[in-house]
Amino acid sequence: MKTITLHKINKTLDSHIRRRAKKDNKSLNQTIQDMLEEHTGIKKQTNREDFNEFLGLWNEKEYREFKKRVSEFKKINKSDWE
Q: Is the pLDDT of residue 20 over 80?
A: yes
pTM for this predicted structure: 0.52
Residue 58's pLDDT band (cuts 50, 70, 90): confident
DSSP string, 65-81: HHHHHHGGGG---GGGG
In one letter, which amino acid is 60? Answer: E
Residue 46's pLDDT band (cuts 50, 70, 90): low
34 vs 50: CA distance, rounded Å: 16
Residue 77's pLDDT band (cuts 50, 70, 90): confident
Average the pLDDT over 49-60 and give the result.
Answer: 75
- Give how far Cα 81 sits from Cα of 4, 73, 76, 78, Å: 62, 15, 9, 5
- Res 27: pLDDT: 96
